[in-house]
Amino acid sequence: MSEKVKCLIIGSGPAGFTAAIYAGRANLSPVLYEGIQPGGQLTTTTEIENFPGYPSGTTGVEMMEDLKKQSERFGADVRGGIATAVDFSAAPYKVTIDGEKVIETETVIISTGASAKYLGLADEQKYAGMGVSACATCDGFFYRKKTVAVVGGGDTACEEAIYLANLASKVYLIVRKPFLRASKIMQERVMTNPKIEVLFEHETEGLFGDNGVEGAHLVKRRGQADEEKVDIAIDGFFLAIGHKPNTDIFKPYLKLDEVGYIITENGTSKTNVPGVFAAGDVADPVYRQAITAAGSGCKAAIDAERYLSELGH
């Protein structure tokens, strides 16, 4: 069972839906498959206050619903389904949905996003949106003058701790190893910040609280003779142990960086395969914001439209 389309968008979220809006307005009749998490990572964020045009804020779910309706208004065909395999060896490109349906397409916009890495604790799910976050710049504002913890020892964790220290009254940095992996300058900034307390050789065992996170159960120097259980009182728990871009099925065809992010041509959404474009967090290890994802979705749709017009389609 196969179907031919002009523009296929894989993944939703701000990047996918913005690409669909622009592609629809350019008469590309885009087909969008929402993927594993319809609406993307933002649907797990309770409140969004930093997206322009929402002066009173909105929720991730509401914003994605708005974007979806707007894309459908301009003719986007939004469908449920997950891309399970691709063949980018020759145009038209083939994308398999849910292991059975094959879509043949002249252009592909990949907006499959990246998934935050979690510790794997049941409490992370229990308190999702109630004190557990994987994005300090998204959610830090809600913890002004409160106490928070950041998990991780690399540059991202240090950056998040420093960012949160500007808002929170105290920041614990929970580091499994006896040292920080971050660059020297980031280490210095963390160690000299009076609001940040680094807990070396600590691991999180669980979280506790009645109506949200109120504290964390830690273990210090696990497996050593002086192993010790430690509880800290916190209002927010931030994961900063990295993101994994959702790019596994594209590996045989696209150039990826060492972590797995899609490499795009400087200043564009173009990948190494002509007619295949990438937008949003799947190609952005740096900013990872809704607004930057939306902007890159716009670029991808314009790049796709220009590519097709150059081919005379």
CA angle 78, 84, 88 (to 5 degrees): 90
Q: What's the chain's length in residues? A: 313
Q: Active-site residue 298, yes or no?
A: no
What amino acid occupies position 78? Answer: V
| The CA-based dihedral angle spanning residues 299, 305, 307, 311, taken in that order and rounded to the nearest 10 degrees | 180
Nearest to residue 204, comparing CAs of 274, 245, 151?
Answer: 151
Cα–Cα distance, 220 to 33 (Å, whole number): 45
Q: Active-site residue 139, yes or no?
A: yes
Catalytic-role residue among 123, 138, 281, 303: 138
Q: Active-site residue 231, yes or no?
A: no
CA distances (Å), origin 176, targets 150, 154, 280:
12, 11, 31
Catalytic-role residue among 7, 87, 123, 135: 135
Dihedrals phi, psi of 290, to nearest 5 degrees: -60, -40
Name the one residue in this structure whose structure tokens are 């967090």: 281
For residue 38, is the peptide bond before it cis, meaning its omega torsion is within 30 degrees of 0? no
Catalytic-role residue among 7, 123, 139, 303: 139
Which residues form the catalytic set?
135, 138-139
